[in-house]
Structure 1
Amino acid sequence: MNTFKTVVNSIAASAFGVFMAFGSAIAADFPTREIKLVVPWNVGGSNDISARLISKILADEGVTVVVDNVAGATGTIGMTKVANAEPDGYTIGMGTSSTMAMIAQGLTPLKNDQFAPIARVTTDQLLLLVPKGGPVKDVDGFEAMVKKNPGKISIGTPGSNNLNHIFAVMTGNVVNSSVVTVPYTGGAKVIIDLAGKQIDAAVLKPSESKAQIDSNMVIPLGVFANERIKSMPNIPTFKEKGYNVFPYGPLVQMAYLVAPAKTPPEIQEKLIAIFNKAIQDPRFKAASEDGGARVDSLTGKALGAEIIAVTNTLSEVGKKVFSEKK
């Protein structure tokens, strides 16, 4: 019996060694074909813009990345496609704080452990915007309007039960009133309806609204952050105007790249090297920062720890904010 076990263990060890050697050989040549990058939002939004710029930068390095927009269910349809993809490194996805918010609140079967963290793309501060020519011109005026018209002021957001939605609700909560939140499948659609005065306001990233701000089609009233946006220094924060939109602690809006969880470690490392290099490229950093986003270098396990921490915070904040929704 002992001899039999020894033989079995020897065969298993040999097979494992062959598998590891085979995996290392594959990783050495990776990638040998195009990589699909699933963006779980519509074309034209900030995440789509970032993905396409990364794709362009990597094309200069000889790496082909094809952006696949799979919108719906606050990003979870596209991220489910990533979680269920072949774990060979050729399908990755762009998760966001919306992904974490849906996971945190149990609104999707997805779990963070279905993904292997690759690299953070950006962190963003969010803006409250109104259409040009509307009845208000600043945060105080908007909050007065919300207080005077409880449950009547509409605020558009990309998705629901996410950070944008939380901040939209908080614009009512800070004056003991309520708003009507209007979820969309992406920021590009929100900004179109806002500029067309189909909704009263919107909560969006600077990169999703900068073109319309510059064209004087919409007006940014305030930043949902403790500091002003470097590239938009004239827009005040809610904090400095005396409105506490972080009553349960700070929140981080971010976008990040992940692969399916069972992607071999060697392939994960290649993906980290490939994509983090593109994210740190001066062209990507300059474009992102001009659009009001921040770029750092957070990858692999460190990114995974950040994802868990933000998800845990969103779990607590989401319960409190949405339970108070009037």
Structure 2
Amino acid sequence: MGWVQFGRRRRPDSGAALSVLAVAALAAGIVVGPAAAEDKFPSREVRLIVPWNAGGSNDIAARVLAPILAENGMRIIVDNVPGGTGTIGMGRVANAEPDGYTIGMGTSSTLSMIAQNKTPLRNDQFASIARVSTDPLMLLVPVNGPKDLGAFMDELKKRPGKVTIGTPGTYNINHIFATMTARAAGVDYVNVPYPGGAKVITDLAGGQIDAAVLKPSESIGQIKAGQVRPIAVFANDRLAVFPDVPTMKEKGYDVFPYGPVVQMAYLVAPAKVSPQVRKTLIAAFEKAIQDPRFKAFAAENGVLVDNLTGEALDREVQAVQKSLNAVATQVFKAE
């Protein structure tokens, strides 16, 4: 510190005085200079954990949203953390610093794991931001497989306990529908779980598995290329993107005997994120999801988009959880 001599007393020079004032301000909790800019969220990239392999539908949706968010001042880094039917990546979100710089993409698959107590995760560890999509699921076969749903059900009966159905993850909604399909035929089957939809569709197109339960967005490229064929939709209505593919219901098969379930993807932050940061995240993602470019992507891939955010989304997650608590335990109680 520099000092100036004034007679017998020494006083701090002006630079030293400013330093003392700065220290005093910090001690009083007053942030000045560059530190003030750091308080503005976001001041750096936000890490978005997608708990599935790259190339799957959730990963693709996140990467479509990223440049739209960047245009509006929020830079996103997509981080794929697959494993445990989504629970490993979501565990990292739950345990992250609640500053808004680590968020994650939850799915109904992880809610199914919670329903069966196959993970220590709980919904109160997260604060909902925005729903990205609601995804109908389809039953698909290789292009040289059964020509329609009736032929596939006959195949299940001819080869009880031997027909293989691939799903991204296990003990989730895809697994539920695969199981209910086999039950509708009155036989067992072999569930083949994968770490993500991209690997399921690759093996289905290659004939390594007999069928798969996937989203349209995970399979539309291979469908258009003539490598796989959808034979049924697990929904009450046909899909606009595949109007010729019948629903299980219209063919006389009830795959919702224990109540309706929905496959959805939604964004969350750690539960203790501040209200202001949560509000900023909600506004940014709401704007990006409602952007015409993302809506066009959704329509082209059979993805349903709405405008559910914040506390309203919290309530929807709890409603889906309640339904899965009943459905999953009934479907998997003997497994």
TM-score (norm 1): 0.90
1:84 aligns with 95
RMSD: 1.4
Contact 2:133–2:304 at 8 Å: present in 1 too?
Answer: yes
Task: Give a deviation string over 1:128-161, Cα, whole Å, max 9, x none.
Answer: 0001112x11011101111221110000000000
CA contact (8 A) 2:72 2:284 kept: no
For the pair 1:226 / 2:232, whether they are aligned, the reply is no
Distance 1:298 1:26, change over 3 A: farther
> Aligned partners of 2:331, 2:224: CA distance in 1, in Å?
32
State the alpha-carbon separation in 1 of the partners of residues 38 and 254 from structure 2.
Answer: 49
Q: Which amino acid aligns with 1:98?
A: S
Alpha-carbon distance in 2 for matches of 1:147, 1:303: 41
**Which residue of structure 1 lines up, in the alignment, with residue 268 of structure 2?**
258
Q: Deviations over 1:221-248 (max 9, x none)?
A: 0000000111111111000111111111
| Matched-pair contact (CA < 8 Å) for 1:187–1:208 | yes
Of residues 236, 239, 248 in structure 1, which corresponds to 2:246? 236
User: Runs of 5+ in structure 2 lacking a partner?
Assistant: 1-28, 31-35
The verdict on how the C-alpha distance between 1:108 and 1:183 changes in structure 2, with shifts beyond 3 A counting, is same
Is the counterpart of residue 64 in structure 1 residue 64 in structure 2? no
CA distance in 2, matches of 1:260, 1:203: 31
Residue 273 of structure 2 aligns with an amino acid whose one-letter code is: T
2:303 to 293, 316, 326: 293
Bigger radius of gyration, 1 or 2?
Answer: 2
What residue number does 1:41 align with?
Answer: 52
Q: CA deviation at 1:307?
A: 0.5
Partner of 1:302: 312
Tell me the amino acid that sits aligned with residue 77 of structure 1. I
Of 159, 164, 186, which residue of structure 1 is paired with 2:196? 186
Assess if the C-alpha contact under 8 Å between 2:115 and 2:329 holds in 1.
no
Amino acid paired to 1:111: R
Select the residue among 209, 225, 229 that pairs with 1:215.
Answer: 225
The residue identity in structure 1 corresponding to 2:136 is Q
Distance of aligned partners of 1:128 and 1:27 in 2 relative to their CA distance in 1, 3 Å threshold = farther
Moved more, 73-82 or 27-36: 27-36
Query: Shift of the alpha carbon at 1:322?
Result: 1.2
Q: 1:201 — aligned with what? A: 211
Please name the residue that 2:169 is paired with. Answer: 159
Q: Structure 1 78/165 Cα, relative in aligned 2: closer, same or farther at 3 Å?
A: same
Give 2:131's aligned residue: 120
Cα gap change, 1:37/1:74 in structure 2, threshold over 3 Å: closer, same or farther? same
In structure 2, distance between residues paired with 1:108 and 1:178: 26
Match of 1:7 in 2: none
Note the alpha carbon deviations across 1:272-312, whole angstroms, 9 max, x for none.
00111101111111101211110000011110011011111
How far apart, in 2, do the equivalents of 1:244 and 1:111 lie? Answer: 30
2-structure distance, mates of 1:286, 1:147: 41
